[in-house]
Amino acid sequence: MTKARLAALAATLLAMPLPVTAHQVWLEREGGTVRAYFGEPVEGTRERSGGLLDRIPGPRIFIEDPSKPLPLRRETDHIQASLPAADSDVRLVEDSLAPYGRVPEQRTRPSC
């Protein structure tokens, strides 16, 4: 391979986008229980207590009113709450983390 072709190949490889991964918080629901996980769902990574899961210090899981959170239980690899109604919409808020200079409307974004 000539130097010119090698340089072109190297430039092509360097210009290719690299996969970017970022941790997410997601909810999984099973009957009357909801579990909040922190990690990378695509890779099947779930952080554990005693590690990065503890970076979520004050989550609130609620049905309708964020001022009325459900009682939470921290487990080995998730945070869990029991739901009073199986067909209700469930949400999680963690507002004790630093906003990193963003306005409140930009602190969280749902992923669907």
Is the model's pLDDT at 69 over the cut of 90?
Answer: yes
Look up the pTM and report it.
Answer: 0.68
Give the span between the Cα atoms of 93 and 58, in whole angstroms: 9
Task: Give the per-residue pLDDT at 48.
Answer: 93
Burial class (CB in 10 A: 0-12, 13-18, 19+), 30: exposed
The answer to whether 94 and 53 have CB atoms below 8 angstroms apart is: no
Per-chain mean pLDDT for the chain: 79
CA dihedral (65, 67, 71, 76) positive or negative: positive
Give the span between the Cα atoms of 40 and 23, in whole angstroms: 5
Task: Give the per-residue pLDDT at 18.
Answer: 52
Q: Of the ranges 28-32, 69-73, 83-87, which one carries the lowest mean pLDDT score?
A: 83-87
Per-residue pLDDT tens digits for 10-27 = 556 555 555 555 788 899
Task: Give the per-residue pLDDT at 10.
Answer: 57
| Those residues with Cβ within 8 angstroms of residue 68's Cβ, 6 or more apart along the chain or in another chain | 62
Is the model's pLDDT at 36 over the cut of 80?
Answer: yes
The answer to whether 63 and 85 have CB atoms below 8 angstroms apart is: yes
